[in-house]
Amino acid sequence: MTRKVCVVGSNSFSGANFCQHLLNQGYEVIAMSRSAEPVDALLPYKWVSADKLKNLQFHQLDLNQHLPEIEALLDKEKPAHIYNFAAQSMVGQSWEFPEHWFMTNAVSTVKFHNVLRHKDYMERYIHISTPEVYGSCSGFVKEDHVFNPSTPYAVSRAAADMSLKTFFDVHGFPVISTRAANVYGEGQQLYRIIPKTIMCILLGEKLPLHGGGHSERAFIHMDDVSDATLKIAEKGEVGSTYHISTKETISIRGLVVKICDMMGVKFEDVCEVTDDRLGKDAAYLLDATRLRETLDWQDQISLDEGLERTIKWARDNFDVLKAQPNTYIHKP
Q: Compute the distance between CA of residue 297 and CA of residue 320 in angstroms, rounded to an integer.
A: 35
3-class state of residue 244 by DSSP: strand
pLDDT bucket at 328, cuts 50 / 70 / 90: low
Q: For 298-303, which contacts have Cβ atoms below 8 Å and span 24 or more sequence positions?
A: 299/220, 299/221, 299/224, 299/228, 299/245, 299/246, 300/223, 300/224, 300/227, 301/221, 301/223, 301/224, 303/219, 303/246, 303/248, 303/250, 303/258
Whether pLDDT at 174 is above 80: yes
Residue 324 reports pLDDT greater than 60: yes
Interatomic CA distance for residues 174 and 257, integer angstroms? 43
Distance CA 209, CA 37 (A): 30
Predicted pLDDT of residue 283: 67
pTM of the predicted model as reported, rounded to 2 decimal places: 0.94
Q: What is the pLDDT of residue 332?
A: 67
| 257 close to 266: Cβ distance less than 8 angstroms | no
Indicate if the pLDDT at residue 246 is higher than 60. Answer: yes
pLDDT band at 1 (very low <50, low <70, confident <90, very high): very low
Q: What confidence tier does 278 reach under pLDDT thresholds 50, 70, 90?
A: low
Q: Phi/psi at 272 (nearest 5 deg)?
A: -135, 130
| Domains defined along the chain, listed by start | 4-183+219-244 (3.40.50.720)
